[in-house]
Amino acid sequence: MRSQNWCANWLIAFAGAAAFLLGSFVVASFVTDR
């Protein structure tokens, strides 16, 4: 159970980081009007 919770937290953290990078990339591409 403990390892499963750790894995879930890792996946959530990774998904959050990926979403943040993707969002910042989209915003940057819109700002540069490329």
pLDDT of 1: 58
Tell me how far apart the alpha carbons of residues 17 and 34 are, in angstroms, rounded to a whole number.
24
Residue with tokens 């993707």: 22
Confidence (pLDDT) at 18:
98
CA distance 17 to 7: 15
Written as six digits, the tokens of 17 are 């980081």
21 vs 29: CA distance, rounded Å:
12
In this prediction, residue 33 carries a pLDDT of 75
Residue carrying the six token digits 């879930």: 8
pLDDT value at residue 34:
62
For the stretch 16-29, pLDDT in tens is 999 999 999 999 99
